[in-house]
Amino acid sequence: MKKNNPGILLVNLGTPDAPTRPAIKRYLRQFLSDKRVINIPKFIWWPVLNFIVLPFRSIHLSKMYRSIWRKEGSPLMVYSKNQRDALASVVNLPVEIGMSYGNPSIKHSIDKLIAQKINRLIVLPLYPQFSSATVAAVWDGICKVFKNYKSLPDICFIRDYAEHPAYINALKICVKRSFKKYGKPDLLVISYHGIPKRLVNEGDDYYQRCLDTTNALVQALGLNDKQFIFTFQSRFGYEPWLTPYTDTTIKSLPSKGIKYIQVISPGFSSDCLETLEELNSRNRNYFINAGGERFEYIPALNTENTHIDMMYQLVSEFLY
């Protein structure tokens, strides 16, 4: 009987290496060339990407990234490394963080784990709600890495954890702590990253998984239908995305008598550009400029002890 030597790979989307136009262009080129993300024929998309999207969007994004960048680097990378280290200290096993786009790549991190003689690879994509644009892209990346391997480890792949009790409990604790610190708001805005409606029509169950998380969280918090709203942010391009949109919803709330909101984005396991710049800065300004009075952002789970415990619970099923 072979000895069980598991290793854990945590996977997130990725981040540019620096808040500069060249670094952002490298990152965006890889990200937006993935057919899981942009499913447009290459002969149409290639010139649009290289001559329109990359030159102009990199200017805009460089300003946004600079506004959140830390001395240690991108917030997403800082939190991801801390999550890796915290989980490793609990499981006392090799743990690596890999990014679907950018560095460290999934290949780089898998190679590091294999070099440590693991024979079971436990993959935890840090996307609580499955989507073909995120979780399935991780699966594609793993298959691509092992395409040229002559021997394969056992692979345990965690699809998602939208309703996992430890995940819902971690969210509940963060929301209750915020309510206690800042007072209960008129409305809790629960915002998820959007995807094109087309993907849902083609069979992606992301919308349902976001709804599952929302229902479990509001039940745990004891909120009624008038105390929360469920929205989608971060749309890109011109095709219809999941609605209601977070920005247009937030702009409309003050005129309806909603003057104090708290916002949480349960789909992000780490704070990043979409939460820190888009939600906590831009959408805060939208709300205040529309007549709102108080706006509080509830941070992502990041390195909360309850979050690390949740990760441990998810991977522990496959450790022995």
Exposure on the CB side of residue 248, measured as CA atoms within 13 A: 6
Cβ atoms of 164 and 126 within 8 Å: the answer is no
Residues 151, 277 within the same domain: no
In the chain, the number of structural domains is 2
**CA 48, 137, 242, 269 torsion-angle sign:** negative
Residue ranges at the known binding site for Fe(2+): 193, 274
Residues 67, 183 within the same domain: no
For the chain, 320 residues long, give each residue's pLDDT as a single digit of tens: 467 899 999 999 999 999 999 999 999 999 999 999 999 999 999 999 999 999 999 999 999 999 999 999 999 999 999 999 999 999 999 999 999 999 999 999 999 999 999 999 999 999 999 999 999 999 999 999 999 899 999 999 999 999 999 999 999 999 999 999 999 999 999 999 999 999 999 999 999 999 999 999 999 999 999 999 999 999 988 899 999 999 999 999 999 999 999 999 999 999 999 999 999 999 999 999 999 999 999 999 999 999 999 999 999 999 87
Residues 170, 254 within the same domain: yes
Question: What is the residue range of 290's domain?
Answer: 165-298
Residues 138, 245 within the same domain: no
Residue 181 maps to which CATH number? 3.40.50.1400
Residues 181, 267 within the same domain: yes
- Nearest to 272, CA basis, from 19, 23, 95: 19
Quote the pLDDT of residue 148. 87
Quote the pLDDT of residue 320. 79
**CA 267, 273, 277, 283 torsion-angle sign:** negative
Residues 140, 277 within the same domain: no
Quote the pLDDT of residue 4. 86
- Nearest to 64, CA basis, from 276, 284, 286, 300: 276
Q: Give dist(CA 212, CA 122) in Å, integer.
A: 24
Any domain includes 1: no
Residues 106, 177 within the same domain: no
Residue ranges at the known binding site: 193, 274
Residues 107, 180 within the same domain: no
